[in-house]
Amino acid sequence: MNRWQYALTRLLQIIPTFFVVMLLVFVMVRLLPGDPASAILGDRVTDEAIAQVNRRLGLDQPLPVQFGIFVRNFFRGDLGSSANLRVPVLELIKERLPVTLYLTAYAGVLAALLAVPLAILAAFRRNTWVDGLIRGVFQVGLSVPVFYVGLQLLTFFGARLGVFPVGGVGSNFTQNLYYLFLPALSLGFYLSAILMRNLRASIIEVFSAEYVEFARSKGLKRRVVVLKHILRNALISTVTLFGLSIGQLIGGAVITETVFAVPGVGRLMVDAIFGRDYAVIQGLTLTFALLVSLVFLLTDLLYATLDPRAELS
């Protein structure tokens, strides 16, 4: 199986998975407690008004019919309209999604910048005070919830020192690096702790492999041995773990965006859940599922690049 066939196979595997996700999203949204019509109408709740809202939203149809309409509209690019905001869901996603993607990518980059060099340092200084200090600091990242780290960063660097803003986003790429640093750091710190521990263990395991000893015996420079033989092979499991953690990163963005008042799709999801806005919840959940699926695909392709044997599986 060549590289293109491998990529096509992984891409085709997304289709049935995504269909199952669509079905689960449709069913679970309708299992949420509360009546969306009552949430929309507020104090103006009457039986006649509820019937009108349900008819307008299609909620008076049998569930199989509702699901069929949902699937048909999805493939037409119609995710419906927000019952609360009176705006097409697709427009809301187009407006908010870039902020969340920026925040998630920012957090991933910060996590890699923290984890990779410190994992290498800890592995080559294992069982020393340096190794113990690095692992001890990152243990905090594994033990403390993301939202608590965010609140502490917000309180200290935002409210007390005033070094960073306490919320919002910038108007361009450069300003977003400044505005989103604290929420990205709070997201990335947890991920960096996971990546650091995994990469450190992988480097230690690869360090004693026969092919590494053979590379040293050939007289290769230490930098070549570390980068080409040790780090490349050690990164295989870490890359896979990083891809699997993207879903958690996007999920963490829901809470982080709320804490830092970031106008992304995570905060929109929270508002939609409290407002019983079915169309928005469905559209955002499918967007998250599609993003995670694409990240998994890219992870598989990168994994195959690092280890060509994966294409044979």
Residues in the chain where the model's pLDDT stays below 50: 312
Residue written as token pair 């939203």: 57
78 within 8 A of 277, measured Cβ to Cβ: no
CA distances from 3 to 15, 39, 215, 305, 308 (A): 20, 51, 28, 9, 9
- Dihedral of the CA atoms 140, 155, 271, 102 (nearest 10)? -70
What is the three-class DSSP state of 88?
strand
81 secondary structure, DSSP code = B
User: Which residues partner with 81 through β-bridges?
Assistant: 88
Neighbouring C-beta atoms of residue 9, cutoff 10 Å: 12
Place of tokens 């340096």: 130
Q: How confident is the model at residue 312, as a pLDDT?
A: 46
**Quick one: pLDDT at residue 135?**
87
pLDDT in tens, 134-162: 888 888 777 777 777 888 888 888 778 87
Q: Are 296 and 18 in contact (CB under 8 A)?
A: no
Given this model, what pLDDT does residue 34 score? 63
Report the pLDDT value the prediction gives residue 199, as an integer from 0 to 100.
Answer: 87
pLDDT of residue 43: 62
pTM of the model as a whole: 0.77
**In the chain, what are the domains?**
3-75 (no CATH), 90-274 (1.10.3720.10)
Q: How many CB atoms lie within 10 A of CB 90?
A: 15
Sequence-separated (6 or more) residues with CB below 8 Å from residue 177: 106, 170
